[in-house]
């Protein structure tokens, strides 16, 4: 495993992404898979999101993925043999979350990055796929998990009756990085326990 020490500001620049890619190549001789997994949220709506908050969310969530994908694709083409880019997106690339608008905008951008880049890079045998989890037991949901009333409501909204564990998302990452998913590109895999298909029953 290669470990790269990098700040969030560096990750959201073209130079920072190139440096991370080069570190991997210097360590292992080549790059085969990139996973873009940086993400933050502000839990603010259109009327109260500051410009600074918006810029930070877009830089970390979307700009880092864009330039990470660019650097990886350039390396894949240079070394030959294709490659794979996995973007950890969210159900909120498609599903609105009022009160968390910058996050939703960033994930919507990731959706179109994956679809457009997947078409552009197909001729180079480079695949790009989004993984879109629903609610997962990670630090980004810590405040919800700490509130029993919110957790009861959330679990009730999920057909499987619970939030996901990180390992369940990792299992899908491993599958997509295997040879068994070689025909998948320019698309999104949703792992949400069915929450996007929920209905109020009217």
> What radius of gyration, in Å, describes the C-alpha atoms of the chain?
17
- Say if CB 155 and CB 161 are below 8 A apart: yes
Q: Which two tokens stand for residue 109?
A: 């951008």
Residues annotated as part of the active site:
103
Strand partners, 83: 126
Tell how many helices (H) and how many strands (E) occur in the chain. 8, 4
Give residues with Cβ within 8 angstroms of 4, minimum separation 6: 19, 20, 23, 24
With H, G, I as helix, E, B as strand and everything else as coil, classify residue 144: helix
| 46 and 96 Cβ atoms separated by less than 8 Å | no
Task: Tell me if residue 46 falls in helix, strand or coil.
Answer: coil
């Amino acid at each position: 495993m290669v470990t790269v020490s990098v700040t969030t500001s560096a990750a959201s620049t073209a130079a920072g992404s190139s440096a991370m890619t080069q570190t991997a190549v210097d360590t292992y001789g080549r790059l085969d898979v990139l996973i873009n997994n940086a993400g933050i949220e502000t839990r603010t709506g259109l009327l109260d999101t500051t410009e600074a908050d918006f810029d930070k969310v877009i830089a970390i969530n979307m700009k880092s993925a864009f330039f990470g994908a660019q650097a990886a694709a350039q390396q894949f083409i240079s070394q030959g043999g294709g490659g794979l880019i996995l973007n950890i997106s969210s159900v909120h690339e498609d599903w609105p979350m009022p009160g968390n608008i910058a996050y939703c905008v960033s994930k919507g951008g990731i959706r179109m990055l994956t679809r457009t880049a997947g078409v552009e890079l197909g001729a180079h045998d480079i695949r790009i796929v989004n993984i879109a989890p629903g609610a997962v037991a990670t630090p980004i949901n810590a405040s919800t998990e700490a509130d029993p009333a919110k957790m009861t409501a959330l679990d009730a909204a999920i057909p499987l009756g619970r939030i996901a564990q990180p390992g369940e998302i990792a299992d899908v990452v491993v599958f997509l990085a295997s040879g068994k998913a070689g025909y998948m590109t320019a698309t999104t895999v949703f792992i949400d326990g069915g929450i996007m298909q929920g209905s109020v029953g009217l």
